[in-house]
Amino acid sequence: MLDWNVVEEFLDCRLKEPNIRIPRDIKKEALVEAFCQYVEDDYYEWLKDNFKSFFGVARLIGTG
């Protein structure tokens, strides 16, 4: 879902500001992949919650 190249650029910029150093044994690709998975998982949960709120799913299925 996310553009990994954009995420890589974002991480490069954000990690430079506070001078955060990634251990040498962690490949940048692995860091980008892990960050993308984390964001996508969180985003999916956020979408589900907002879908329920927007459409009143609890009312529609009789549980609210």
- pLDDT tens sequence across 19-64: 888 999 999 999 999 999 999 999 999 998 898 888 886 565 555 5
CA angle at 42 for the pair 33 and 22, rounded to the nearest 5°: 35
Q: How many CA atoms lie within 13 A of 8 on its CB side?
A: 8
CB 56 within 8 A of CB 64: yes
Question: Encoding tokens for residue 42?
Answer: 């969180």
* Cα distance between residue 18 and residue 12, in whole Å: 11
Cα–Cα distance list, 12 to 21, 27, 35, 53 (Å): 10, 13, 12, 35
pTM (global) more than 0.85? no
* pLDDT of res. 12: 92
